[in-house]
Amino acid sequence: MKRTKKQQALDDARIQRAVTGMVIPMMSIPALHRHAEGLIAKGVDDAALAAGVRKFMGASRD
């Protein structure tokens, strides 16, 4: 499904909030963004998005 520019901007803002305060290697940013977009496509809330991003980056609190 094609997303509108407005929806993409909202998703990008959610991803930015999820990674705030994390140190992310430059080479990992595209993969992290794809992973986060996949989580958003599944319909996760902001807390689950942040947890999924932390787990992807190996910074999980589990």
pLDDT tens column, 23-54: 777 878 899 999 999 999 999 999 999 999 98
pLDDT of residue 19: 85
Question: What integer pLDDT is reported at residue 3 of this predicted model?
Answer: 78
- Confidence at residue 47, expressed as pLDDT on a 0 to 100 scale: 93
Residues 6+ apart with CB under 8 A from 40: 11, 14, 15, 49
DSSP string, 16-47: HHHHTT----GGGHHHHHHHHHHHHHTT--HH
pLDDT at res. 21:
77
